[in-house]
Amino acid sequence: MNNNFIFLLIILFQVMGDEENEIGLPQKGLNMIIKDVIPDMRIANESRELLNACCVEFVKYVSREAQRISAGDQRKTIYHEHVQKGISESYYFRV
């Protein structure tokens, strides 16, 4: 089984168990992104909510990675280089 798929499943189970989390992306923006990527398909509201929750988890994950890298550089501010390195080192983008 692909490592990316396993990692995604772990994130989905974490998100599904975190019902009280009200943080999310603006639904209108998320809808525009979905329509841009798959214009000929409808997405159920529950699926949109799950995608939104996954986006939030992605931002949290990258933020933690960027903070770890920033701290390793003995910085108190996270710069774009830290975010880029956090993304490039993450499991989200490994093939």
| pLDDT the model gives residue 1 | 47
Mean pLDDT of residues grouped by 10 in the chain (95 residues)? 55 56 81 92 90 87 92 94 88 58
Which amino acid, residue 23? I
User: How many CA atoms lie within 13 Å of 16's alpha carbon, on the beta-carbon side?
Assistant: 8
pLDDT for res 10: 60
Integer Cα distance of 55 and 52 in angstroms: 5
pLDDT on residue 79: 94
Q: What is the pLDDT of residue 94?
A: 57
pLDDT at position 39 is 94
pTM recorded for the entire structure: 0.69
The pLDDT of residue 95 is 41
Residue in the block written with tokens 């920033």: 70
